[in-house]
Structure 1
Amino acid sequence: MISATTRKAQSSAMQASVLALNKTYSPVHVISAKRAFCLLSKDIAEVISVEDGSFMNYDFGSWIEISELRAEFNERNELEDWILSVNFEIQVPRVVRLLRYDRIPNNTIKFNRRNIFIRDSYRCQYCQKKFSVKQLSLDHVIPRSHGGGMSWENIVSACRRCNTKKGGRTPSQAGMKLFQKPAKPSRNPVLLQQVKQAKYECWKNFVGSKELLTCD
């Protein structure tokens, strides 16, 4: 019987992020491990593994064999995610290549709360302190009553205390100063957050300075 701890780890592993490349090895999406395994099992994608500076290509069957050998010889590390099925263990790949997809999507950066918080590093743009998502709110730098709209250049993260203090005034009217000038990110904030993590470091081999990826 699988323990509750193991089930939790399995669920977490299935939600791990996987970078999807098109046929020409250009990055196009960030997908979940669950989605990646679905594509692999249907032979729509293959695993791209970065090994000692070189790229290795594996179909689903080969990846299962490689994973079983690594598991047998205990060649696993804490940065990896693993799935335990009924018949075998398999490592969650970090990168897959879509075998039938050669287009680059029309990528856009979604304007939403999550991306604003990530852009601002979860820091209130007035008191400069970091907060949890539940403790943060969105503030119109130029209030709506003054004609301020919903845009990357006019919305910032603010703690509830500072947001209340500022009220329906501009920062100068409230005697408050912005930590940094808000602007639209040049790259997807979610991708930037993930690529900084050690377990997604191999993505740097494929993601250039100007890629804008969609995240599922």
Structure 2
Amino acid sequence: MQYIASLESSVLVLNKFFMALHIISAKRAFVLLCKETAEVVSVDEGKFNSYDFYGWKDVSLYKARSGLPEEDTTSWIKTVSFEIEVPKIIRLLFYDKHPQSNVKFNRRNIFARDENKCQYCGRRFPTMELSLDHIVPKAYNGKTTWTNIVCACTECNKLKGGRTPEEASMRLIRKPVKPRHSPILSLKLRSDRYRSWKQFLNEAYWSVPLK
């Protein structure tokens, strides 16, 4: 059995009404399962099955022992005494609030919106090698907003300095906009690993192409 570095795998969180809320790590998902504040929602051949932590542990044990064929998208965690599959979806049993309609303005979402690409040279970088650039610099009263902040690599950020792109003879590869939906969620939907999430999202997300 192949083990993927799984504790940081992404898990979709639903409220008690099966509405998508946000994405968390597998590590956080297992904490919620062990506290019995959430259950696993497994989509099998179009049917929904729910399991508490121990039920999911038994399902994982059965899969591991039966030699059932695995999907390439399956992640597992191995402990001293047992193996358990990382769920792709969990549901909060006591949370009835509706998802937020507004996308949070933060560093993580900006990187996701720009797909970790420097918006000046177009190359993709690890997050730790990217910074945020004010297109119109603060010195020129540039605002810290979706439409004035982009990802930039260290070299391009240094080259641009405290100037506008025009002053630095640099061009943006794409005009920044405020995303209508979670950029992180949109990126995840392009992967086969998270195809089952689609069933819990509204139709606005269904237009995102899946590989």
TM-score (norm 2): 0.83
Superposed displacement of residue 141, structure 1: 1.0
Q: Give 1:180's aligned residue.
A: 174
- 1:186, 1:210 within 8 Å by CA — same for their partners in 2? no
Q: Give 1:52's aligned residue.
A: 45
Q: Distance in 2 between matches of 1:34 and 1:117?
A: 22
Unaligned runs of 5+ in 1: 1-5, 212-216
Q: CA RMSD in A?
A: 2.4
Q: Distance in 1 between matches of 2:160 and 2:80?
A: 57
CA 1:17–1:128: 2 relative to 1, 3 Å: closer
Give aligned-pair identity as a percent: 46
Q: Give 2:208's aligned residue.
A: none
Residue identity opposite 2:10 in structure 1:
S
Once the two structures are superposed, the pairs formed by residues 1-216 of structure 1 within 5 Å of their partners are 12-75=5-68, 76-106=70-100, 108-208=102-202
Q: Give 1:3's aligned residue.
A: none
CA 1:165–1:45: 2 relative to 1, 3 Å: closer
CA 1:132–1:30: 2 relative to 1, 3 Å: closer
Q: Distance in 2 between matches of 1:36 and 1:158?
A: 32
Structure of greater relative contact order (alpha carbons < 8 Å, 6+ residues apart): 1
Residue identity opposite 1:159 in structure 2:
C
Residue identity opposite 2:78 in structure 1:
L
Q: Distance in 1 between matches of 2:79 and 2:15?
A: 28
CA 1:37–1:179: 2 relative to 1, 3 Å: same
Residue identity opposite 1:148 in structure 2:
G
Unaligned runs of 5+ in 2: 206-211
Aligned length: 203
The superposition leaves residues 15-38 of structure 1 with CA deviations (integer Å, 9 ceiling, x where unpaired) of 322111111110113222233223
